Amino acid sequence: MRRVGRVAGVAAALSLLAACSGGGGRAGVPTTVPPAQNGPAPIYISVGASETTGIGSETPLREAWPRVLYRTAMPAGTVFVNMGIPGATVQTALQFELRPTVDQKPTLVTVWLNVNDILAGVPAADFERDLGRLVRELRRGGQTRVLVANTPPLDHLPAYKACRPDPPAAGPECRAPGGELPPPDEVNRVIDDYNAATARITEREGANLVDLFSVGMRSRAAGIEDALVSPDGFHPNAGGYQLVATAFAEVLARTGPL
């Protein structure tokens, strides 16, 4: 994701973060482990932005959250494909990630897209419309299980605090290639709107919500939030990726085996 989107990813990283690319291969290339039994192998595809490709990790192909989820929570023989595109918004995913994903008839799809939309100034209503379409088409009429992450807290990210000192006038604007982050009160309001939209979409479309916002706030309350962010101040580190993967794994476990 762009530096700005990295803020987002970081935001997510704030508390949990994100990212992973196919474990043993290039993004978009299936990765498999030997099957444990006969029958069709489950197919897991991750849709997202830089948090999904592992930016911020020293070893993205191993530490990014989709890779960790695949390695720790998927049945033997599962096929894994990472469709993440750094800097992606929901519109980007509709254009470049949706069709290749649906064409592979996946068993499971994870979706984490929101920060770059916030950075691009996409209104919550437009975000809800586009994300709703994405989730609906990924579901393939109920044939694919879809897990959708909401937006983690962003206002305590080191990179964000560095450009929003107290008083704000003392520091530079929070500009990045993808847009400009609004002041803390405004960004928190936007996140609330986006998360309400995400909750409505998962309920309406029969998908499953992964509440990264709550994970991030629990990390903050425990005093470990800063320890989950990579040196760039935006993206998660290995510990942040693990926390995100765990949040997805818990929802996956509650919804039954693949």
Extents of the domains making up the chain: 3-254
Q: Tens of pLDDT along the chain (258 residues)? A: 443 343 334 333 333 333 333 333 334 444 444 444 567 899 999 999 999 999 888 998 899 999 999 999 999 999 999 999 999 999 999 999 999 999 999 999 999 999 999 988 999 999 999 999 999 999 999 999 999 999 999 888 876 776 655 554 444 455 544 456 667 778 899 999 999 999 999 999 999 999 999 999 999 999 999 999 988 777 888 999 999 999 999 999 999 999
The one-letter amino acid at 54: G
- Beta-strand relationship, 208-210 and 145-149: parallel
Is there a contact between 73 and 83 (Cβ–Cβ < 8 Å)? Answer: no
pLDDT of residue 38: 60
Residue 163: its pLDDT value, please?
63
Please list the alpha-helical segments (H only) found in 16-89. 50-53, 60-63, 65-73
Q: Which two tokens stand for residue 218?
A: 């629990």
Backbone angle region of 189, left / alpha / beta, with phi > 0 → left and psi within -120 to 50 → alpha: alpha
CA atoms within 13 A on the CB side of 243: 27
* Through-space distance between the first and last CA atoms of the chain, rounded to whole angstroms: 30
What the block records as the tokens of 190 is 């936007």
State the CATH class of domain 3-254: alpha beta
Whether the full predicted model's pTM is greater than 0.85, yes or no, is no
Q: Measured between alpha carbons, how far is 70 from 75 in angstroms, rounded to an integer? A: 8
Distance (Å, whole) CA 54 – CA 46: 12
b (16+ CB within 10 A) / e for 20-38: bbbbeeebbebbebeeeee
